[in-house]
Amino acid sequence: METRNATLLGMLGGALLVLALAAGAFAAVSFNGPGAVQAQPGGVTAMRQVTVVGQGEVKLAPDQATIQIGVETRATTTREALDQNTAQAATIIEQMKQVGVEERDIQTSGFNIYANYSENGRTVTGYTVSNNVVVTVRNLEQTGALLDQVVAAGANRIYGINFGLSDREGALAQARDAAITNARARAERLAQGSGASLGSVLVITENIGTDPVMPMPAMMARDEVLGTGATVPVQPGEQTFNAQVQVTYELR
């Protein structure tokens, strides 16, 4: 009797083991089968897609300029040098306003007083005072006349001129639109070449860059500007704004 019970228990245990193994195999097929879809990084499910880089460029004429203008005076005492500098700077600023520059567009960018020494570097021979302002010219037609008048008023340091646009974001927006159009055209050519068509946009990334600075050579001496007797020629030219985007499209 005991032998018979042991046999029955052994058979029952084996049956349970078989059932457990079968259940495990079924679970493995259900979760790891070839039909399962795995998500890709970035939240885009596995699908056919194409990624391109679009370039956009816009050339526009600048509508404003910034100029750094200064006056430097020398005298045997700081008081004398300072008084001379103050008088010349006031005259220069008044001339700017007469040309049409608003007060909000004139900003002091530097003010310095330092001693001058003899050749041996030990004896103070006098003092130099310099006062510089940055001027924003919003009417480019006034630029040449402005340079003439401030130099005539006593400005003896003009460090350069930079042209720009008052609405830079608008210019960059045009460049981005051109880059998107360029990216789609590239993607369509690639899709057609592979016998597919474009679907929805999956990812867009803008590549941020910098615009080149376009300085004008500095004019340092007063006589050099006034010697010709003509208005200083100023050519603003054009500025280039670039944009670059990377776009991923679905392929159908």
Give the model confidence (pLDDT) of 190-205 as tens digits.
999 999 999 999 999 9
Specify the DSSP class assigned to residue 194: T
pTM (predicted TM-score): 0.65
pLDDT, position 219:
41
Please state the φ and ψ torsions of residue 13, each to the nearest 5 degrees. -65, -40
Higher-scoring residue by pLDDT: 206, 7? 206
Q: How confident is the model at residue 213 (pLDDT cuts 50, 70, 90)?
A: very low
Q: What is the mean pLDDT of residues 179-188?
A: 97
Let me know if domain 64-164 sits in CATH 3.30.70.2970: yes
Cα distances (Å, whole numbers) of residue 106 to 63, 158, 214: 17, 14, 21
What DSSP designation does 123 have? S
Among residues 45, 105, 114, 22, the alpha carbon closest in space to that of 74 is found at 114
Give the helix ranges, DSSP H, for 153-233. 168-193, 222-226
Q: What is the largest CA-CA distance in the chain?
A: 133
Per DSSP, the three-state class of 138 is coil
**Chain center to CA of 107:** 24
Q: Nearest Cα to 207, choosing from 183, 190, 187, 189?
A: 183
Collapsing DSSP to helix, strand or coil, 55 comes out as strand
pLDDT tens figures, 118-155: 998 889 999 999 999 999 999 999 899 999 999 999 99
Q: How far is the C-alpha of 154 from the C-alpha of 148, rounded, in Å?
A: 10
Confidence of residue 230 (pLDDT cuts 50, 70, 90): low
Q: Distance between terminal CA atoms of the chain?
A: 73
Distance CA 144, CA 148 (A): 6
Give yes or no for a contact between 138 and 63, defined as CB atoms under 8 angstroms apart.
yes
pLDDT in tens, 20-54: 444 444 333 333 333 333 333 444 566 899 999 99
Give CA separation, 249 vs 134, 202, 244, in Å.
48, 5, 16
DSSP 230: S
Average pLDDT over residues 146-174: 93
Q: Where are the domains of the chain?
A: 42-59+169-210+245-251, 64-164
Between 40 and 96, the higher pLDDT residue: 96
As a whole number of angstroms, the distance between CA 244 and CA 110 comes to 38
**Is pLDDT of 163 > 90?**
yes
pLDDT band per the 50, 70, 90 thresholds, residue 234: confident
